[in-house]
Amino acid sequence: MGEGGRRKEVGGRRKETFALLLSCLLLSFFLPSYLLPPSSSLLTAAAQDTRLPDEESFLAAVRENMARANREQHRYAYKERRTELHTNPFGRLGTGDVVVYDVTPGPETGVTFRRLLERNGKPVLNSKPERQERRVRAGRRSTVDDTVNVLDFAVDRRETVNGRSAIVVRFAPKRGAEAETREGRMAKAFTGLIWVDEAAREVMRVEATALDDLSYGLGLIARMRKGSAVTLVRERIDDKIWLPTSIKFKGDGRALLALRKLNIDFSVEWFDYRRM
């Protein structure tokens, strides 16, 4: 295989990896991406107010806000700090270096340009922007609609998160629902909780756990074990929008072709958002 072919192969695997993680991120507007138990220091029981909001109208407002964020996100530039994920079963495998990129939106939705700024805390000089494109197939549901379609949501309780009232929503796969997108198919493999800012109707945190083993690379490269966990955090970016600020994926598995154990501790942080 020539150099161009190897680059396409690596790029394809990288895109597939982020599709896996971003599908979890799509659970919130999420609903890639790309959960873990909440910290007792972060979450506390709410006061004795048992009156929960009307489920139908509450979830409709949350979904509309998530869809709006999904539409508007391409208008923002940002920096991204992430752990590199190595997926060659005969070479490097697992998580490795930490890199920082500057990401700017392209001339059309779905197109971004990424420029490497740092590797393991050291500046990278004279790096060139790389074009990335996410295509949407015509005639299919959006990833947001497809993810919502394959999951059941239920308002569960009220808690206080960092001094703000939050509604906790449970989600689980919907029986008989058929997914049309890869994100939707991945969403069906998870169950978990969503913390929603009650006043803003915005998702603050998502925690999801895999109900079964997860295949990677069409089941030929690796399989992550049941119980793999994803944590997503969203925050208010400005007076117009809430966007994701971090996602973590943690799990154990096995690389099938090389018969090697696989441990993934992958994280991405998004910061320094700038509206373009």
**What tokens does 128 get?**
């060139």
Identity of the amino acid at 187 = A
Collapsing DSSP states into helix, strand and coil, what is residue 193? strand
pLDDT grade for 124, boundaries at 50, 70 and 90: very high
Residue 29 has pLDDT above 80, yes or no: no
Average pLDDT of the residues in 250-260: 67
| 38-52, 53-67, 155-169 — most confident range | 155-169
pLDDT of residue 55: 86
Give pairs for 239-242: CB < 8 Å, separation 24+.
Answer: 240/72, 240/275, 241/68, 241/69, 241/72, 241/73, 241/76, 242/65, 242/69, 242/200, 242/202, 242/203
| pTM of the predicted model as reported, rounded to 2 decimal places | 0.74
What confidence category does residue 255 fall into, taking pLDDT thresholds of 50, 70 and 90? Answer: low
Q: From residue 215, how far is each of 65, 104, 206, 255 by CA, in Å? A: 31, 31, 22, 10
Tell me how many helices (H) and strands (E) the chain has. 4, 15
Q: Which residue from 96, 97, 148, 109 is spatially nearest to 276, judged by alpha carbons?
A: 109
- Name the nearest CA neighbour of 31 among 149, 135, 156, 114: 149
Structure tokens at 54: 């009307």
Other Cβ atoms less than 10 A from the Cβ of 194: the count is: 26
Which is more confidently placed, 70 or 157? 157
Which range (48-52, 63-67, 228-232) has the least confidence? 48-52
Vertex 222, ends 221 and 224: CA angle to 5°? 160
Residue 111 has pLDDT above 50, yes or no: yes
Q: Average pLDDT of the chain?
A: 75
Least confident of 77-86, 90-99, 141-150, 235-244: 90-99
C-alpha–C-alpha distance, residues 41 and 266, integer Å: 23
| pLDDT greater than 70 at residue 78 | yes
